[in-house]
Chains A and B, each alone.
Chain A
Amino acid sequence: MSASLDPPFGSNDVRLSLREWAVALPLIAAFVVFAPIAWKAIEPLRIEPNHRQPFSLGSDYWAYNRLWHAQRDQGTVPVIGDSVIWGHYVSKDETLSACLNRLAGRDIYANLGVDGIHPAAMAGLVRYYSGATSYGMVILHCNLLWMSSPRHDLTTEKEFAFNHPTLVPQFSPKIPCYRETYTRRLDVAVERLIPFHAWKSHLQIAYFGDRDIPSWTIEHPYSWPVAAVALKLPSPNEPPSPRPDARPWTDQGITRQPFEWVEFETSLQWRCFRETVELLRSRGNRVFVLLGPFNEHMLTDESRALYAARKQVVADWLKANGIPHLVPDPLPSALYADASHPLAEGYKLLAHQLFDNVAFTRFHRRP
């Protein structure tokens, strides 16, 4: 009538004693720990000259971490930043780091930019997926575009989908437009500490069309998932999708814009940028900051004045903290594709400005 006083264990024999768990748990832990490590030996990573993270692996942080370490092993100086560094409108051999390498006469600089990464995400990328550097040197790009409106700054109250949400702070500081559930935030916060999760995401992004394996099998019902793992990574030459219109901004019908710059006191992106610098320095790196060049030609007069004031705030902060930096002169208007991305000729000019800069030269000389 009523339930048994000694309920049966179960309907299977999958029942381990503590001693058997002492065998099973290390085996499971070994898989979790060593699968990502062993994968590096299985999946070839060929670093090409002027290599950059393939566009389709833009949110593959495990691959980014691997690239970071591979570049460090090759003794290069990482150049980190958003799509300006990655080179959204240019080929991998026309990016800033490629131009610097040509001027240097050898491959010294590594393009470790990530398309679409904003300072709040960059702080997370550096914190969780970047390691040590070869000579303790990092070149960091500061793009004030991310402070050009409350939306770019992520301080708008209205919810919207922004880039790289799993890299941003999940709990503090609060991001008003980020409305994930508490459970999801905790999942993200925990999972980015576990390399296995990043590796699993890598497999999903690289081989399963950015889907988890079950979802992939729904699209490919008669395929064997293991067969999809071709061990061939996308080319660093692959262009962004959709393919960008690499013409001067004026030819694209873009007009001058009155950007509503945010106040730096309340800016989330500015706060995160400073955190990134401090984090890199706390790891023993010397940091060189490249501030801009922003397409000032695209700004209305009033907006340009506001931009100049903000640029000065950043420069003052860098100076006050003893961080070598360059605030390059604006490039000619025709060398910009949009508000912040130079075209190929623009990168060449920018590289020359850097090479001619005393602080940049000193940055390389100091031990």
Chain B
Amino acid sequence: MLFHTWLFALFFCIVYPVYVLTRGTWFEKPWLLLASYIFYASWNPVFLVLIIYSTVVDYAVVWRMEVSPRRGLWLALGVGNHIFLLGFFKYGGFIVENFNALFARLGLGWEIPDPNGVLSYVNFVSERINHLLAAIGIPYHLAPQTTLLIVGISFYTFQSMSYIIDCYRGIARREKQFLVYAAYVCFFPQLVAGPIERSSNLLRQLGSRRTITGEDIGDGLSLFLVGLFKKVAMADFLALYVDKVYGSPAQFGAPALILATVAFGWQVYFDFAGYTDMARGIARLMGIRLVLNFNNPYLATGFGDFWRRWHISLSSWFRDYIYIPLGGNRRGEVLTHVNMAATMVISGLWHGASWTFVIWGALHAAYRVLTRNLEATAFYRERLPDGVKRAFVFACVTFAWIFFRARSLDDAWLIVRRIFTGGWTDPRCPIVIFGLVAAVWLYQHLYESDARAWLRPAPVRVAIVVFMAVCTFMCAQSGGQPFIYFQF
């Protein structure tokens, strides 16, 4: 159930009035939980088993952690459970494939069974559900699952782990009401693609009585429209060109491959930031404030700055639960760089079980390590124009996107090779979409400059909203295109 479909509109039109009317009553939490579970089940009801299991285990683990003297054991159990779930459902195929390839190369004759074998059980259950739905006349058909990767698993496991670790550290208090905790794990606006919320923000709000003000409604609508524009008018538009070029990179010359890579950089930003904005808008309409996840990342003047602006909830998660526990920058220059690199590589792997993501993470690690000292110099901070720094960061980040987007490592190398050797042919890149991207980029520049005051008058903001709405209506393609980050 994608936010930009009529199905979601219908779902929200049912959920929202009941939510508003029952706020503060005993029915609020069960209703929110039911809505969230229905939302999640719209992908595949079988997956509900996993999220409910995860919620129950975490609730029990934190409860035991509070009363048991062996708190570390319970922490290990809780975190280990999530790592196992991620390892099996997200990385199982990748790990097994690589080990089997290694065994074959060593001539050991061993073979680990493919975890995707579990799919036959999942599809068996899905088929039974289909029969049941057909028998009661519901025209809904669950498509067979082709991959073990469960939608949203990377997001809700990380959110749950942060809660367990924060409780262990004494930063967060145990949520005693199971329904409140369950609603925190699967709060539908941010369930499948974040932002990854800490208990100090979302759980606190869910556990307390909320009012929905006029400001919430206005902000919620604003955020939702901005997100819808980013997704429907920008990301899906850019995707057409990116898919065309990346679908058969051998047929395109250097200009097309460069432009498609730049286009993908913007596509992935608009797609993910668009989802986040819509999620934040929906939550805000419900009186709940989710964290800011993207802050104009392509205006970053350094790689540290980039990661403070890109997928903020994930990068802060890695900072708090990987980088700092590894020692952060407290153990000397070399170890700081090692910690930084390790965190970036793990961050790359978080995005997907593939060597292309590992290389993407490694490239960012290299950028960060190589420029950390440079960024600290007075020359870089004061003498180098921001435009040059932004262009440099953008170029490096864009280069890394090649590995993120390519279908395989072979394709990625082919694209890199052809960018330098592929010849200068007509890229046939639509000027309209690059005009729109340029308009957004200019807006972001103005927003972060002294000219921000120009964007503030009400007529300007209303005009921008109307323009975005018209663009969204006119550019909408038939059927909602899925979000890129759903695959993570």
Contacts and interface: CB of A to CB of B under 8 A. Distances in A.
A2 B291 contact: no
Given A190-B6, A214-B475, A24 B201 contact: no
A11 B464 contact: no
B139 interface: yes
A221 interface: yes
B430 A221 contact: yes
B462 A27 contact: yes
B390 interface: no
Contacts of B7: 182-183, 186-187
B293 to A, nearest CB: 10
A40 interface: no
A197 to B, nearest CB: 9
Nearest to B462: A24
B155 interface: no
Interface in B185-226: 197-198, 200-201, 204, 214-215, 217-219, 221-223, 225-226
Interface string A6-24: 1111111111111011011
Interface stretch (B112-120, B345-353, B453-461): B453-461
A214 B477 CA distance: 8
Contacts of A189: 6
Interface stretch (B72-80, B398-406, B416-424, B465-473): B465-473
Interface in B1-49: 1-2, 5-7, 9-10
Nearest to B241: A218
Contact of A14 (B280, B432, B461): B461
Interface in A169-187: 171, 174, 179, 181-187
B244 A218 contact: yes
B222 A16 contact: yes
Q: Most A CB atoms within 10 A — which of B218, B431, B452? A: B218
B433 A214 contact: yes
Interface string A128-155: 0000000000000000000000000000
B453 to A, nearest CB: 10
B223 A10 contact: yes
Contact of B291 (A4, A14, A186, A187): A4
Interface residues of A, number: 52
Contacts of B431: 221-222
Interface in A212-268: 212-215, 217-218, 220-222, 224-225
A360 interface: no
Nearest to A179: B141
Contacts of B103: none
A15 B219 contact: yes
Given A2-B166, A187-B478, A7 B201 contact: yes
Given A2-B320, A7-B292, A17 B480 contact: no
A23 B9 CA distance: 22
Interface string A274-302: 00000000000000000000000000000
A359 B431 CA distance: 61
Contact of B218 (A13, A21, A191): A21
Contacts of A12: 226, 296, 443-444, 447, 455
B280 to A, nearest CB: 8
B6 A218 contact: no
B237 interface: yes
Given A3-B200, A7-B291, A32 B462 contact: no
B171 interface: yes
A311 interface: no
Contacts of B379: none
B395 interface: no
B289 A214 contact: no
Interface of A: 1-18, 20-21, 23-24, 27-28, 31-32, 171, 174, 179, 181-187, 189-191, 196, 200, 212-215, 217-218, 220-222, 224-225
Given A12-B455, A31-B470, A182-B7, 9 more contacts: A9-B223, A13-B452, A27-B462, A27-B466, A179-B141, A187-B478, A213-B475, A218-B240, A221-B430
3 A-B pairs closest in CB distance: A217-B430, A214-B237, A18-B214
6 contacts: A11-B295, A14-B464, A16-B462, A20-B462, A171-B139, A212-B478
